């Protein structure tokens, strides 16, 4: 039933630190976050970990377990063998505050750089009429629990700190797609997606989709469709021509 597991946990403050070894009891049915909490209660009372709902719904306990971004509360111990050493580190892409807690302010800053939902001025609350099929695409993206693991795993910023200013990360490129597909949003988001928020940096290698705990198809349903929408605008002379002709004929009639 219960056994002693070998854990290596990164501990340190402000970047400096190292992997520390622990041997800790594991009981049936536990998840990695339980083990971290057991370490807190028994061996390392000041071990820092961020967590909240413990049910995979709030996206607080993002960490890297054996090198892969995971939610601590959703990674069951039964997925590891008893002999295995389990390595737990903070998310690598963001500055570390202490132990497993990182400073995720990059994400909040990016959130603020994306222009908000912009409804037409003449529609009043209560007057919105939308069909289910028209909101479903954006609804998928709104399942996002903002664990920021997609932004963490994305090599564009994980491996290239210098790209951070010009790249919103999968989470917020998906936010742009969500708004661009919103039936009532009137803001033009295509140019800025490419020019300001770095959609072009994305090389669709799909790591964001692989790590998403909500199983949102970030790449196929948000990023690629957004790239296609940008291509409509910026890289497709046929569409451009078509629009011109169409506009002219419709303005005539």
Partner 1 sequence: MTQTTAESPARRQRAQIKERTLRTDPWWRYPLVTFIIFTAFVVYATWTIFDASYFVSPYHAPFTSPCLATSCPEEARLFGLAPFGDWYTLPPALLILGFPGGFRLTCYYYRKAYYRGFWLSPPACGVAEPHKKYTGESRFPLILQNIHRYFFYAAIVIGLILAYDAVKALIAKPGGLGTWILIVNAILINLYTLSCHSCRHITAGRLNHFSKHPIRYRAWGIVSKLNAKHQELALISMFSIMGADLYVRLVAKNIIAFPFV
Partner 2 sequence: MEIERHEYDVVVIGAGGAGLRAAIEARQQGKRTAIVCKSLFGKAHTVMAEGGAAAAMGNVNSDDNWMVHFRDTMRGGKFLNNWRMAELHAKEAPDRVWELEAWGALFDRTKDGKISQRNFGGHEYPRLAHVGDRTGLELIRTLQQRVVALQQEDEKLHGDAEAYIKVFQECTVTRLLKDGDAICGAFGYWRENGKLILFDAPAIVLATGGIGKSYVVTSNSWEYTGDGHALALLAGANLINMEFIQFHPTGMVWPPSVRGILVTESVRGDGGVLRNSEGKRFMFDYIPEVFKDKYATSEEEGDRWYTDQANNRRPPELLPRDEVARAINSEVKAGRGSPQGGVYLDVSTRLPAAEIIKRLPSMHHQFKELADVDITKEAMQVGPTCHYIMGGVEVDADTGAAAVPGLFAAGEVSGGMHGSNRLGGNSLSDLLVFGRRAGMGAASYVDGLATRPKISEESVATASAEALAPLERSGENPYEVHHELQRTMNELVGIIRKSEEVSEALEAVEKLKERAQNVGAAGSRIYNPGWHLALDLRNMLLVSECVAKAALLREESRGGHTRDDFPVMSAEWRTKILRCALTPDGSGIAVEEQVQTAMRDDLITLFDRDELKKYITEEELAAFDALAKE
Residues of the shown chain interacting with partner 2 in the complex, contacts defined by CB under 8 A: 13, 27-31, 33-34, 40-41, 45-60, 73-74, 76, 78, 97-99, 101, 104, 108, 111-112, 115-117, 119, 123-126, 128-132, 135, 138-139, 142-146, 179, 182
Q: Of residues 4, 68, 76, 244, which one binds partner 1 by CB under 8 A?
A: 68
- Is the CB of residue 61 less than 8 Å from the CB of residue 72? yes
74 makes contact with partner 1 (CB under 8 A): no
CB atoms closer than 10 angstroms to residue 192: 17
- HSE of 173 in the Cβ direction (CA atoms, 13 Å)? 37
Tell which residue, 74, 72, 77, has the closest CA to residue 61: 72
109 makes contact with partner 1 (CB under 8 A): yes
199 dihedral zone (left: phi>0; alpha: psi -120 to 50; beta): alpha
Q: Which is nearer to partner 1, 33 or 138 (CB)?
A: 138
Q: Of residues 207, 212, 218, 222, which one binds partner 1 by CB under 8 A?
A: 207
- Is the CB of residue 31 less than 8 Å from the CB of residue 53? no
Q: Which is nearer to partner 1, 34 or 239 (CB)?
A: 239
Stretch that binds partner 1, among 30-38, 46-54, 62-70, 244-252 (CB under 8 A): 62-70
- Separation between Cα atoms, residue 40 and residue 48, nearest integer Å: 8
CB of 1 to partner 1, least distance (A): 25
């Amino acid at each position: 039933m219960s056994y002693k597991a070998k854990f290596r946990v990164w501990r340190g403050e402000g970047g400096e630190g190292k992997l520390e070894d622990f041997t800790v009891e594991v009981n049936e049915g536990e998840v990695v976050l339980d083990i971290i909490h057991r370490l807190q209660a028994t061996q390392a009372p000041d071990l820092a970990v961020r967590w909240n709902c413990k049910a995979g719904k709030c996206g607080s306990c993002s960490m890297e377990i054996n090198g892969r971004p995971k939610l601590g509360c959703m990674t069951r111990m039964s997925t590891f063998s008893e002999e295995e050493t389990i390595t737990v580190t903070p998310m690598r892409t963001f500055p570390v505050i202490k132990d497993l807690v990182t400073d995720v302010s990059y994400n909040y800053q990016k959130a603020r750089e994306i222009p908000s939902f912009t409804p037409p001025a003449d529609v009043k609350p209560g007057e919105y009429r939308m069909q289910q099929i028209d909101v479903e695409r954006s609804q998928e993206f709104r399942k996002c629990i903002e664990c920021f693991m997609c932004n963490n795993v994305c090599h564009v910023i994980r491996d290239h700190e210098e790209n951070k200013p010009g790249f919103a990360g999968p989470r917020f490129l998906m936010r742009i797609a969500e708004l661009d597909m919103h039936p009532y949003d009137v803001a033009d988001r295509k140019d800025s997606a490419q020019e300001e928020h770095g959609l072009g940096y994305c090389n669709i290698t799909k790591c964001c989709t692989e790590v998403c705990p909500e199983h949102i198809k970030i790449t196929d349903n948000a990023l690629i469709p957004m790239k296609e929408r940008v291509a409509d605008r910026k890289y497709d002379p046929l569409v451009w021509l078509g629009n011109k002709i169409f506009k002219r004929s419709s303005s005539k009639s």
